């Protein structure tokens, strides 16, 4: 037991926590619902009886030390989770006892301070979970340098129990590899979500700030459980109105809700806001009036939200205003805004997704062409956010050549969690395998082993800031993401942001156990479906390195024949380059020479037909239809085989899911079964439409044993999906 002085301090801290913990528990408690996906991976279903007894012995009481809202959130979440997992309420204790779980930091807990724990190197967000003996009692310790680390440690302990891992003899140290782990919401102020397939925006600006939907807290809980610490509330194409007091008081309300969960809010800022809101005649970043306006606006925002994170900016891309409108550079614009935020500790995240009508080069080249000459010119509180590939979130792309090319610039990763090009919410496509592929790619920037992950986490060039962001897939649907399996991509984004070297399979296994149950007869088939799902989508949409074949605007369904749009790089026909002689986009020295933007080792691999590999063949080379692959088949035959294989893979997923009938709760089972049926229909549509079109170019017969499309090409070309969800305009 603790001595008298320590016990008195513990009781004093516990007294200070009671009101906060009581309020937290009331906020976290809500009526029970049928299994509809609302609880995400935080279901906290009871573990099996034999394991439950073991866990109960190690979780008899909760001893939380500290009085902050974050400690209250951590302790409340731990009590909530243990109540569900262990089937009984675990009380808050006042003193050390056998089976206590002790939460705190050296600053808040004399017990933790006295242990001289090895917390160095864990930063403010890292944590230590350790089984220790205190006063002869067996205790599980969750400690951090700051309260947010304790919060993350609580979620890790709960994950261990959820996945039925042992929690005795623990000695676990962990800290995030990436500083800023963010979700970017493409939510408009009218609640329409661009590229959103899960209903309206979560943010009800009309009822904020007076009504604070409890769902905002549940959203924050889910994000905190996977280590997300930044939220961009509005669309990168948003107008400037979000920067007005009317919206800032609502932004403040959300920031207040998110803060105890370790989450800071950010805003997408329109570059010409000084003209739109301030009536200035210019937004020139070198104009003193513009600089003064942004400084004043930053000061105003921080009066509402003292821990405001900063701005996300899309500039001079797809018609958005930017510094180039005033003959200035991206660095000029980013640095001006960063200067306004610097005294408050804020950052500017400047998107490198740029292409404009004035630039006629291969879109692959444009981001590098505009940003690489600016290497070393960006302030330390600017992060250049680069999409994983050089085109636009395609089912498969090589990594962007900007990764590894700017060692003196903070370079962050931008993934897309919402599946704009991968079947929206109805197609099962686990993106962890895509992100693992991108992050493990070798840039050769400093020799072999210079992976994209090492660029993103800052370990390769030792930059002052690191970022991994994902375009969110959440909305106000009850299941949050529009489908049960799309929740896995939200979950995986957080796990990869915490550690870019994590295994996609390990993440899938954890998610499956937490979401569907620990029975191996459930986990193994579900993980198997997930691990093969993204390749299935690649096969029936864009095999062999084809890309951007989606129909115009909404990107729903195939449109490889489209060749009449205003910009050439809006046309799928431009990207696949198909004609009577062959197919593919030549990015070698004989074409756009985009490969020159990579390190020589990478350029040689992609530029050589013998080493490029089937996955990227048509991304970098235009080849005859009769070009023969390592499989022994011609390009034409291989395309037909892969399109057909994609459909077969979806059929196999349907059979696997059917085998889980009776093991999955009825509501979620039925939803997934229905969506897989849609996916099979649409995979067949993709297969038949693309084969019909490409056969009209190649004029070659189908390989033996493969069925022709169900309809002629004109039938597929006549399909009109103008009302598909998630378009740029509501």
| 633 and 501 within one domain | no
Q: Is residue 505 part of a domain?
A: yes
Asked if the model's pLDDT at residue 521 lies above 50, the reply is: yes
| 544 and 476 within one domain | no
Select from 136, 159, 174 the last residue of a domain. 174
Residues, the chain, total?
730
Asked if the model's pLDDT at residue 16 lies above 70, the reply is: no
User: Which CA distances in Å does 147 have to 152, 265, 581?
Assistant: 9, 18, 64
Select from 174, 200, 225 the last residue of a domain. 174
Mean pLDDT of 669-679: 98
How far does Cα 537 stand from its chain's mean position? 19
| 403 and 357 within one domain | yes
| 404 and 309 within one domain | yes
Helix then strand then coil, in percent of the chain rounded to 5, is 40, 10, 45
**Domain boundaries, position 633:** 539-585+622-717
Distant-in-sequence, close-in-space partners of 268: CB < 8 Å, separation ≥ 6: 184, 232, 233, 234, 235, 236, 237, 238, 242, 311, 312, 313, 314
| 196 and 148 within one domain | no
Asked if the model's pLDDT at residue 1 lies above 50, the reply is: no
| 315 and 255 within one domain | yes
Longest Cα separation, the chain = 89
Give just the sign of the alpha carbon dihedral 44, 48, 49, 50.
Answer: negative
pLDDT of residue 33: 52
Rounded Cα distance between 178 and 467, Å, is 6
Report the domain count for the chain.
3
Asked if the model's pLDDT at residue 9 lies above 70, the reply is: no
Which of the residue ranges 20-34, 279-293, 429-443, 465-479 would you say has the lowest mean pLDDT? 20-34
Rounded Cα distance between 380 and 383, Å, is 8
pLDDT of residue 15: 43
pTM flag (> 0.75): yes
* CATH number, domain with residue 393: 3.20.20.80
| 477 and 422 within one domain | yes
Which of the residue ranges 2-16, 390-404, 453-467 would you say has the lowest mean pLDDT? 2-16
| 288 and 159 within one domain | no
Q: Is residue 531 part of a domain?
A: no
Looking at residue 360, what DSSP letter applies? -
Over the chain, what is the mean pLDDT? 94
Looking at residue 329, what DSSP letter applies? -
pLDDT of residue 492: 99
pLDDT of residue 49: 85
Q: Is residue 99 part of a domain?
A: yes
What would the pLDDT profile of 64-112 be if each residue is shown by its tens digit? Answer: 999 999 999 999 999 999 999 999 999 999 999 999 999 999 999 999 9
| 553 and 447 within one domain | no
26 band by pLDDT with thresholds 50, 70 and 90: very low
Task: Give the count of alpha carbons within 13 A of 145, CB side only.
Answer: 12
Q: Is residue 724 part of a domain?
A: no
What would the pLDDT profile of 537-586 be if each residue is shown by its tens digit? Answer: 999 999 999 999 999 999 999 999 999 998 889 999 999 999 999 999 99
Q: Is residue 345 part of a domain?
A: yes
Q: Which has the higher per-residue pLDDT, 475 or 3?
A: 475
* CATH number, domain with residue 672: 3.90.1330.10
Asked if the model's pLDDT at residue 18 lies above 60, the reply is: no
Asked if the model's pLDDT at residue 27 lies above 70, the reply is: no
> CA angle, corner 208, sides to 301 and 300, nearest 5?
10
Catalytic residues: 318, 392, 420
| 204 and 145 within one domain | no
| 650 and 544 within one domain | yes
Q: Is residue 723 part of a domain?
A: no
Count the neighbouring beta carbons within 10 Å of the beta carbon of residue 160.
Answer: 16
Asked if the model's pLDDT at residue 356 lies above 50, the reply is: yes
Q: Which residues of 299-336 are buried (b: 16+ CB within 10 A; e: fewer)?
A: eebbebbeebbbbbbbbbbeebbbbbbbebbbbbbbbb
pLDDT of residue 34: 74
pLDDT of residue 11: 41
pLDDT of residue 5: 40
pLDDT of residue 238: 86
Asked if the model's pLDDT at residue 358 lies above 90, the reply is: no
Select from 146, 174, 202 the last residue of a domain. 174
What would the pLDDT profile of 134-176 be if each residue is shown by its tens digit? Answer: 999 999 999 999 999 999 999 999 999 999 999 999 999 999 9
| 143 and 92 within one domain | yes
pLDDT of residue 567: 87
Distant-in-sequence, close-in-space partners of 369: CB < 8 Å, separation ≥ 6: 359, 361
User: Which CA distances in Å does 221 have to 78, 151, 157, 397, 492?
Assistant: 12, 10, 15, 33, 15
pLDDT over 70, % of the chain? 95
Q: Is residue 613 part of a domain?
A: no
Q: Is residue 337 part of a domain?
A: yes
Cis peptide before 209 (omega within 30 of 0): yes
pLDDT of residue 338: 98
Closest CA to 238 of 257, 221, 224, 251: 251
Rounded Cα distance between 653 and 415, Å, is 25
């Amino acid at each position: 037991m603790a001595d008298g002085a320590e016990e008195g301090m513990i009781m004093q801290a516990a007294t200070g926590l009671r009101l906060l913990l009581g309020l937290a528990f009331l906020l976290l408690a809500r009526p029970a619902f049928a299994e509809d996906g609302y609880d995400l991976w935080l279901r906290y279903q009871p573990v099996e009886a034999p394991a439950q007894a073991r866990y109960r012995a190690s979780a008899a009481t909760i001893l939380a030390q500290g009085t902050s809202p974050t400690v209250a959130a951590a302790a409340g979440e731990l009590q909530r989770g243990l109540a569900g997992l262990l089937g009984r309420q675990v009380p808050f204790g006042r003193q050390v006892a056998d089976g206590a779980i002790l939460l705190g930091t050296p600053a808040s807990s004399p017990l933790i301070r006295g242990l001289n724990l090895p917390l160095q190197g864990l930063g403010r967000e890292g944590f230590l979970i350790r089984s220790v003996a205190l006063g002869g009692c067996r205790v599980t310790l969750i400690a951090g340098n700051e309260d947010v680390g304790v919060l993350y440690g609580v979620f890790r302990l709960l994950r261990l129990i959820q996945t039925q891992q042992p929690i005795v003899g623990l000695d676990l140290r962990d800290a995030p590899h990436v500083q800023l782990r963010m979700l970017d919401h493409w939510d408009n102020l009218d609640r329409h979500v661009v590229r959103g397939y899960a209903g309206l925006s979560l943010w009800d600006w009309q009822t904020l700030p007076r009504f604070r939907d409890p769902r905002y807290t549940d959203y924050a809980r889910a994000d905190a459980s996977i280590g997300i610490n930044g939220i961009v509330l509005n669309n990168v194409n948003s107008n400037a109105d979000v920067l007005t007091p009317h919206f800032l008081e609502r932004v403040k309300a959300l920031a207040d809700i998110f803060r105890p969960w370790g989450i800071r809010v950010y805003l997408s800022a329109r570059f010409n806001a000084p003209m739109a809101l301030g009536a200035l005649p210019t937004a020139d970043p070198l104009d003193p009036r513009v600089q003064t306006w942004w400084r004043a606006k930053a000061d105003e925002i921080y009066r509402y939200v003292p821990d405001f994170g900063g701005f996300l900016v899309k500039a001079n891309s797809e018609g958005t205003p930017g510094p180039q409108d005033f003959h200035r550079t991206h660095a000029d614009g980013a640095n001006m805004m960063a200067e306004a935020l610097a005294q408050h500790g804020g950052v500017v995240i400047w998107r490198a997704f740029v292409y404009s009508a004035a630039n006629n080069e291969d879109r692959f080249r444009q981001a590098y062409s505009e940003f690489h000459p600016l290497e070393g010119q960006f302030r330390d509180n600017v992060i250049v956010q680069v999409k994983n590939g050089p085109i636009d979130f395609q089912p498969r792309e090589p990594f962007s050549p900007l990764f590894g090319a700017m060692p003196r610039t903070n370079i962050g990763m931008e993934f897309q969690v919402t599946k704009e090009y991968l079947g929206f919410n109805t197609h099962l496509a686990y993106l962890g395998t895509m992100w693992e592929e991108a992050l493990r790619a070798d840039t050769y920037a400093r020799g072999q082993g210079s992976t994209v992950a090492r660029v993103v986490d800052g370990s390769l060039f030792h930059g002052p800031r690191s970022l991994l962001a994902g375009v969110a897939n959440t909305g106000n649907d009850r299941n949050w993401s529009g489908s049960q399996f799309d929740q896995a991509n939200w979950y995986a984004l957080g796990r990869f942001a915490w550690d870019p070297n994590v295994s996609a399979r390990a993440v899938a296994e954890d998610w499956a156990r937490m979401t569907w149950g620990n029975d191996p007869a459930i986990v193994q088939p579900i993980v198997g479906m997930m691990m093969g799902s993204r390749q299935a989508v690649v096969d029936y949409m864009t095999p062999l390195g084809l890309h951007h074949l989606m129909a115009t605007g909404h990107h729903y369904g195939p449109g490889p024949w489209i060749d009449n749009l205003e910009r050439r790089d809006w046309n799928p026909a431009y990207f696949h380059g198909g004609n009577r002689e062959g197919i593919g986009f030549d990015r070698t020295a004989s074409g756009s020479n985009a490969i020159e933007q990579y390190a020589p080792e990478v350029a040689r691999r992609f530029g050589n037909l013998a080493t490029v590999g089937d996955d990227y063949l048509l991304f970098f080379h235009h080849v005859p239809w009769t070009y023969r692959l390592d499989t022994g088949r011609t390009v034409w035959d291989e395309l037909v085989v892969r399109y057909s294989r994609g459909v077969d893979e979806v059929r196999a997923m349907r059979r696997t899911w059917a085998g889980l009938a009776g093991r999955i709760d009825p509501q979620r089972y039925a939803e997934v079964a229905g969506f897989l049926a849609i996916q099979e229909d649409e995979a067949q549509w993709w297969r038949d439409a693309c084969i019909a079109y490409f056969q009209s170019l190649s004029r070659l017969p189908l390989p033996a044993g493969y069925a022709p499309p169900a309809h002629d090409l004109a039938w597929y070309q006549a399909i009109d999906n103008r009302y598909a969800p998630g378009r740029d305009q509501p």
